[in-house]
């Protein structure tokens, strides 16, 4: 497994992947750890998670440098990501017991209630775009619920994968409660087949999600899937255009556009299309990608040259089909994985910029007649992850958000982000199940009925 710096193109380090017997031994260690970990009180588990939060904060800069080197995230954003990981550890350390406390149910019996019991060893397959946050978003609730976990991280961030294991170990967690498995994706099926694995969570592309979900389902193992998105952002004629343009640009460029919940399709009512596009273009153009190790850089390179090239091909195909590029859209010679903020207008169905997920700093602007057409276009996608609507009429915003858009969440006059207190996840080809909040911690538990006549 090779870690390659996407800004310089240099090989950082090569890592040896695990052999089959090594994988099996690690899974057995996780199972042994589970037998003890599940018996600990919430208070004891919470104390461990609190120590993990402190360890993350202490190493924040070092971990941000690792992300910058392996996948190009600028330092400031990397430190923000680590802070958010500490936050989610503390959140579940404080709330897990309350979320999972037994629930009495009146059935007329002398005793009837629901208890929430851990399942066992959970496999987490995680992506490179938020290498720490995506992992901690699963592991904080997972471990607090009494499960143990093994992580198969993306192949381009092996250093981050090992750093997560090290943080938990340094925070004193019992051996085997959390382990990283340095393996290729071709090993995942065998790991799922191991009876020790009780469930799987995957964050990544829809293709990977379908494969892993199929493998898990064939063995009747539960899966939670956080997959791709092509989030629609609707800008209505009564929107605050400056605010909408600022939020849209900020969201589109989160993590150099490599976020499942980045704004991707901008569906603008024709009355305000010109003013929105002009303001949006200024804001997108103001951010140019640079060295992620530089404290002042706001957007870095894309994570790999291959991902950059795939994105460029999607843009080229869209232009050939009639889209107009009004900003960016060019690869500079020798620029490694840098790609400039790009805007495509006149985007129509049948173009990759309309039909596919664009996982980079590229905005698709689609002009529509009115609210009805905006909603129709917003829902005209195989995805259903996040969405947003911009309007000064808050009742109108709530109506559209709650009842009209097919997505796991809809933000009004703001951009979508994941927040520890709120459930996060999608519908359609964006996956199923939820992470975060009270729903997230209940995904990997046995909802157990206890009854005595
Ligand atoms: P992938 O889905 O390829 O990778 C995500 C994780 O899944 C990695 O750990 C990867 O391992 C693993 N994986 C990939 N294929 C399989 C498989 N067949 N069986 C088991 N595990 C597998 O994402 P990409 O790196 O290709 O990222 C690009 C796309 O992924 C984007 O277009 C976006 O849709 C989606 N994505 C979504 C994210 C989200 O937050 N919802 C985050 C990141 C990506 P390995 O690296 O070894 O292949």
227 ligand 1 Cβ < 6 A: yes
Pocket probe mutation, ligand 1, options 190, 204, 207, max atoms within 8 Å of Cβ: 204
CATH number for the domain harbouring residue 306: 3.40.309.10
Residue 64 lies in a domain: yes
The answer to whether residue 418 sits within a structural domain is: no
Same domain, 235 and 383: yes
Q: What is the residue-level pLDDT of the chain in tens, covering all 453 positions?
A: 999 999 999 999 999 999 999 999 999 999 999 999 999 999 999 999 999 999 999 999 999 999 999 999 999 999 999 999 999 999 999 999 999 999 999 999 999 999 999 999 999 999 999 999 999 999 999 999 999 999 999 999 999 999 999 999 999 999 999 999 999 999 999 999 999 999 999 999 999 999 999 999 999 999 999 999 999 999 999 999 999 999 999 999 999 999 999 999 999 999 999 999 999 999 999 999 999 999 999 999 999 999 999 999 999 999 999 999 999 999 987 778 999 999 999 999 999 999 999 999 999 999 999 999 999 999 999 999 999 999 999 999 999 999 999 999 999 999 999 999 999 999 999 999 999 999 999 999 999 999 999
Which sign, positive or negative, has the C-alpha torsion 102, 107, 112, 118?
Answer: negative
Token pair recorded at residue 70: 């392996």
3-state helix, strand, coil in the chain (%, to 5): 45, 20, 35
**Signed CA dihedral, 45, 47, 52, 57: sign only:** positive
Q: Is 424 in the pocket of ligand 1 (CB under 6 A)?
A: no
Q: Which parts of 308-418 are beta strand (E)?
A: 324-327, 342-345, 362-368, 388-390, 411-412
Terminal alpha carbon distance of the chain: 58
Residues 346 and 253 in one domain: yes
Is 286 part of a structural domain of the chain? yes
Rounded Cα distance, 308 and 323, in Å: 19
The SS3 call for residue 309 is helix
The verdict on 113 and 242 lying in the same domain is: no
Is 17 found in the same domain as 156? Answer: yes
Nearest one of 221, 240, 24, 205 to 120, comparing CA atoms: 221
**DSSP character at residue 370:** S
| CB distance 234 to 400 below 8 Å | yes
Q: What is the DSSP string of 20-66?
A: HHHHHHHHHHHHHHHHHHTTS-HHHHHHHHHHHHHHHHHTHHHHHHH
- Statement to judge: residues 339 and 269 lie in one domain: yes
Which residue's C-alpha comes closest to atom 38 of ligand 1? 204
The dihedrals phi and psi of 276, each to the nearest 5 degrees, come to: -65, -50
Domain that holds residue 299: 231-412
- Ligand 1 atom closest to Cα of residue 226: 41
Query: CB of 70 closer than 6 A to ligand 1?
Result: no
* Whether the CB of 239 sits within 6 Å of ligand 1: no
Q: Is residue 190 part of a domain?
A: yes
Three-state DSSP at 226 gives: strand
The pairing of beta strand 324-327 with beta strand 263-269: unpaired
Q: How many helices (H) and strands (E) does the chain have?
A: 15, 18
Residue 168 maps to a domain: yes
Q: For ligand 1, atom 8, which residue shows the shortest CA distance?
A: 154
For the sheet with 148-152, list strands across it. 178-180, 148-152, 121-125, 197-203, 222-226, 431-432
Please indicate, yes or no, whether residues 110 and 244 belong to a single structural domain of this protein. no
Domain identity same for 279 and 349: yes
Contact 204 CB / ligand 1 (< 6 Å): yes
Query: What length does the chain have?
Result: 453
Q: Are residues 218 and 254 in the same domain?
A: no
Q: Rounded to 5 degrees, what are φ and ψ at 412?
A: -110, 125
Q: Is the CB of 133 under 6 A from ligand 1?
A: no
Cα–ligand 1 centroid distance for 205 (angstroms): 5
As for how many domains the chain has, the answer is: 2
Q: How far apart are CA 82 and CA 65, in angstroms?
A: 11
Q: What is the CA radius of gyration of the chain?
A: 22
Helix (H, G, I), strand (E, B) or coil at 451: strand
Cα of 65 to ligand 1 centre, how many Å?
22
| Residue having the nearest C-alpha atom to atom 48 of ligand 1 | 185
Residues 386, 304 share a domain: yes
For residue 24, what pLDDT is reported?
A: 98
Flag whether 422 is in a domain: no
Active site residue 14: no
Which of 85, 89, 260, 325 is an active site residue? Answer: 260
- CATH assignment of the domain containing 122: 3.40.605.10
pLDDT tens, position by position, 374-432: 999 999 999 999 999 999 999 999 999 999 999 999 999 999 999 999 999 999 999 99
Structure tokens belonging to residue 297: 């850089």
Does one domain contain both 139 and 284? no
Q: How far is the CA of 227 from the centre of ligand 1 (A)?
A: 8
Is residue 313 assigned to a domain? yes
125 C-beta closer than 6 A to ligand 1: yes
Distance CA 127, CA 161 (A): 10
Could you tell me if 193 and 51 lie in one domain?
yes
Structure tokens at 278: 């002009």
**Strand blocks (E) in 262-406:** 263-269, 324-327, 342-345, 362-368, 388-390
Q: Say yes or no: 396 and 356 in one domain.
A: yes
Is 260 among the residues known to form the active site? Answer: yes
Q: What is the ipTM of this complex?
A: 0.94
Structure-block tokens of residue 130: 């938020």
Residue 220 Cα, ligand 1 centroid: separation in angstroms? 22
């Amino acid at each position: 497994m090779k870690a390659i710096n996407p800004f310089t193109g240099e090989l950082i380090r090569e890592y040896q992947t695990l052999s089959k017997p090594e994988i099996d031994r690690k899974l057995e260690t996780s199972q042994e750890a589970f037998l003890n970990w599940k018996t600990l009180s919430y208070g004891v588990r919470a104390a461990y998670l609190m120590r993990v939060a402190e360890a993350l904060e202490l190493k924040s800069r070092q971990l941000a440098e690792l992300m910058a080197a392996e996948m190009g995230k600028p330092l400031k954003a990397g430190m923000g990501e680590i802070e958010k990981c500490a936050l989610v550890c503390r959140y579940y350390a404080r709330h897990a017991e309350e979320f999972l406390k037994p629930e009495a149910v009146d059935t007329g019996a002398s005793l009837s209630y629901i208890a929430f019991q851990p399942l066992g060893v959970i496999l987490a397959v995680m992506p490179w775009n938020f290498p720490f946050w995506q992992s901690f978003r699963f592991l904080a609730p997972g471990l607090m619920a009494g499960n143990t976990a093994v992580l198969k991280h993306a192949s381009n961030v092996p250093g981050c994968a090992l750093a997560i294991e090290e943080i938990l170990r340094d925070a004193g967690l019992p051996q085997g409660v959390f382990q990283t498995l340095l393996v290729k994706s071709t090993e995942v099926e065998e790991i799922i087949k191991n009876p020790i694995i009780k469930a799987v969570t995957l964050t990544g592309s829809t293709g990977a999600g379908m494969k892993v979900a199929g493998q898990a389902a064939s063995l009747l193992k539960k899966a939670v899937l956080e997959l791709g998105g092509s989030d629609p952002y609707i800008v209505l004629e009564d929107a605050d255009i400056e605010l909408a343009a600022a939020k849209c640009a900020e969201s589109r460029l989160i993590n150099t556009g490599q976020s499942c919940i980045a704004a991707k399709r901008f569906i603008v009512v024709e009355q305000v299309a010109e003013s929105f596009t002009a303001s949006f273009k200024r804001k997108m153009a103001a951010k140019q990608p640079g060295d992620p190790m530089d404290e002042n850089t706001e957007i870095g390179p894309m994570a790999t040259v291959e991902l950059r090239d795939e994105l460029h091909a999607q843009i080229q195909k869209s232009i050939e089909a009639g889209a107009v590029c009004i900003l960016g859209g060019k690869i500079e010679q020798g620029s490694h994985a840098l790609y400039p903020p790009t805007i495509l207008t006149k985007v129509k169905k049948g173009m990759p910029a309309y039909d596919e997920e664009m996982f980079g700093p590229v905005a698709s602007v689609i002009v529509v007649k009115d609210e009805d057409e905006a909603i129709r276009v917003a829902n005209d996608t195989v995805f259903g992850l996040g969405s947003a609507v911009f309007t000064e009429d808050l009742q109108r915003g709530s109506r559209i958000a709650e009842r009209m858009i097919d997505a796991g969440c809809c933000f009004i006059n703001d951009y979508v982000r994941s927040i520890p207190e709120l459930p996060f996840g999608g519908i359609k080809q964006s996956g199923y199940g939820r992470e975060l909040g009270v729903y997230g911690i209940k995904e990997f538990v046995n909802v157990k009925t206890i009854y005595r006549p």
